[in-house]
Amino acid sequence: MAPSLHMLCSLVLVFFLAIQAKSNITLITNGTLPARPSSCSHVRIRREWRTLSPLQKISFIHSVQCLQTRPAMNPSHPAVVTIWDELQYIHVRFAHSTHIVGQFLPWHRQYVKTFENLLRESCLYLGPLPYWNQAIDADSPLSISASPVFHSKFGFGGDGVPGTYTFPVDPYANNSELSSRFIPELYKGCVVDGPFATTVLRIGPGYLNTNHCITRGINDVFRPLVNSASVAAVLTQPTFEEFRRQLDGTPIGFPAPLNPKVHDGGHGLIGGEMTNYYSSSGDPLFFLHHGNMDRLWWLWQKANPARLGEIAGPVDVRDINGLQVTLSTVLDFGTLTPRIPIRNVMNTENEPLCYTYI
């Protein structure tokens, strides 16, 4: 019998709900508009993957492959060899402080921007940064696997193949703080077609550092979480805190049942390492998925200019009634890129971001 949506969503949330939070939440919204940085001399346009030309798709894929071979700039861990390793390791390192918290969206906005900067500066990429609007495919009668992002030539390769991947032993499987939180039910195996079929990841899965393939487990059961109706429900939320929770999901400690949302569903659709709380950014599709999450925040902000100054939520998921994020909260990326206050990433059309979406 195929796993139910509820069961699989519960499994996925084992990753994204790593630490149990307390009940109740204190809402703090900062309605003061952030200080306006200098205007951009040029605003780049981010585009949906299927709108790129074949040449643009190939160019982007080649630039990602470039990051996967270019030597690391500031290796902060023995397993970090390439720039791609650096990107993935930073997500592992800061996973606990950047999920199910108020800084979730701003941190990932700057993380994806850093990815874009590296593509352009280290690999001379000139094209648009793409995102994947999963709602288009979720609304389609076809399987998610038919999405153009999974094309073997003009995409990122297809599903994992059963029998091609063996989970490493997690020595901390019974330790809630150190476990790598594998969900074998959501892995099928290695991606064996497309431009990333021979990619070797050194970071992950989870907290572990092993040489392994990109794994996937495409699963249509998550479609309802990312379809146009679910997206519309996110965009109608009146406050940032309600928007954030509707996008990211409800953690353990809030009223049952578990309540996964668009962000969780996007990871679950792809499966494999994309379902790992820590090392999900090893799959290039991570950046198209989180580009889309950022686009939804951008759309929500566009609906009301006052929202450019609205931020809310706890700094620490273990203490949701404690310190709350403000525009002055600093986002940390280790050695990958300088720290930056949230106020500097609130408006995508100002420095230092300088991009918009179509």
Residues of the chain predicted below pLDDT 70:
1-37, 176, 250-258
> Beta strands 160-162 and 130-131: pairing type?
unpaired
Tokens of 323: 């310190």
> Beta strands 189-191 and 215-216: pairing type?
antiparallel
pLDDT on residue 31: 40
pTM of this prediction?
Answer: 0.89
Q: In sequence order, which residues have a C-beta less than 8 Å from that of residue 287 and are 6 or more positions away?
A: 112, 115, 281
pLDDT on residue 258: 63
- CA distances 6 to 145, 221, 237, Å, are 21, 9, 24
pLDDT on residue 48: 99
Q: Check if the beta carbon of residue 90 is closer than 8 Å to that of residue 33.
A: no
pLDDT on residue 4: 53
pLDDT on residue 228: 98
pLDDT on residue 76: 86
pLDDT on residue 33: 45
Q: In sequence order, which residues have a C-beta less than 8 Å from that of residue 258 and are 6 or more positions away?
A: 6, 9, 10, 13, 17, 250, 252
Q: Which residue has the tokens 């403000």?
A: 326
H or E stretch at 23: none
Nearest of 56, 57, 85, 60 to residue 70 by alpha carbon: 85
Judge if the upstream peptide bond of residue 162 is cis by omega within 30 degrees of 0. no
pLDDT on residue 254: 36
pLDDT on residue 37: 57
Look up the CATH architecture of domain 5-357. Answer: Orthogonal Bundle (1.10)
H or E stretch at 334: none
Phi, psi of 138 (to 5 degrees): -65, -30
Domain coordinates in residue numbering, the chain = 5-357
Question: How would you list the strands of the sheet with 215-216, edge to edge?
Answer: 160-162, 189-191, 215-216
Distance CA 296, CA 68 (A): 28
Nearest of 212, 230, 213, 317 to residue 269 by alpha carbon: 230
Q: Which residue has the tokens 């000139």?
A: 126
